[in-house]
Each structure stands twice: as C-alpha cells, then as structure tokens.
Amino acid sequence: MPIAKQQITPCLWFDKNAEEAANFYITVFKNSKITRVVRFGKAGQEIHGGMPGAVLAIDFELDGQKFSGLNGGPHFKFSEAISFQVPCETQQEIDYYWSTLSKGGSEGDCGWLKDKFGLSWQVFPGRLLDMLRDLDREKADRAMSAMMKMSKIDLATIERAYAGK
C-alpha cells in the first residue's frame, strides 16, 4: 500500500527571517531538511519590496512534516491561536524540546511556549492525553490539576498525581 501524500502544508508567514527560522527548526528536530528555496526576482518588486535574490519562500520538513516559510513582510504576526504540538515519550525529550524551542522566546503555562520567532509550541508527554481521557474522572482530574500548576511539564509529578500518590 502506498504511503499517503501529505495534502495540507502549513505556511508560516515571517517578516524577513523565514530562512533563519527554517534553519533553526531543522536543527531542533531529527530527520529534518530544507527541500526548496524560492528567491525574489525583479518582477513585482514595486509591490512586495523584496530584493532580487533574497529568499521569498523556503520549504522544509521537520521529521517528515512539510512546512513552507514565507517572507511576507511585517503585516501579520503569529498568535497562540495556532500552535504546533510536540508529544514526547520521556522527561529528557520534554526538557530538550522545551529548552531548545523556548531559548530566546518565552515560556508559557501547561507546556506552552513561544520560540524566538514568535511561533507557539506545546511540549508535553504524549501519554498525558490518555490520562486526561481516562474514564475514571478522579484520576483524570488529578492529572489535569497537576498540569495546570506547571510551565514546563514534569512527567513524574503528573504521573504521581494521576496514580493518587
């Protein structure tokens, strides 16, 4: 059976630093690469203001997920309304992604952070979702209560709360 083609590619609007962002992201996530760079030409320069030869758009993959970065100017900014989730298996992974992605950005609550480009990320243990979906609402509520007190997620603390310890 053939592997399904990715039908939707997030396009991230940057002011002028799409290439810098893509190069940063491919160092953070394993199995990542730049796949294409499109440069401004002379056409349309009076409208877009891009210098011929400068990066207009850059396509990249983060662990198989395709993205496109666009140098569209300062008109739009990222907001928390869109974020990317990074489910982790271990505390070591949580610590790595948290410290790497938040460096130069800002830390939020409940595993949320903004990177130095203003993009929002959720770094959390993948099994947290199973805990929160547990039909035993007391266990799920204990896990939720523990998580709500955190900035960076502490997996062991949530697991203890979930277990009632």
What predicted TM-score, i.e. pTM, was given to this entire model?
A: 0.90
Instruction: Give pLDDT tens digits for 8-25.
Output: 999 999 999 999 999 999
Is the pLDDT confidence value at 1 over 60? no
Helix H or strand E segment including 100: helix 91-102
What is the distance between the alpha carbons of residues 119 and 134, in angstroms, rounded to a whole number?
Answer: 31
Instruction: Give pLDDT tens digits for 60-82.
Output: 999 999 999 999 988 999 999 99
Instruction: Give pLDDT tens digits for 83-132.
Output: 999 999 999 999 999 999 999 999 999 999 999 999 999 999 999 999 99
The domain segmentation of the chain, as residue ranges, is 1-74, 78-165
* pLDDT in the model for residue 85: 96
Instruction: Find out if CATH 3.10.180.10 is the number for domain 78-165.
Output: yes
Instruction: Find out if CATH 3.30.720.100 is the number for domain 1-74.
Output: yes
Write the CB contacts of 145 (distance below 8 Å, at least 6 apart in sequence): 161
% of the chain beyond a pLDDT of 90: 85
* pLDDT in the model for residue 41: 87
Beta strands in 72-119 (DSSP E): 83-88, 106-107, 112-114
Cα dist from 157 to 82, 93, 163, 164, whole Å = 28, 16, 10, 11
Mean pLDDT of the chain: 94
Write the CB contacts of 120 (distance below 8 Å, at least 6 apart in sequence): 78, 79, 80, 82, 83, 84, 108, 112, 113, 114
Quickly state the pLDDT bin for 57 (edges 50, 70, 90).
very high
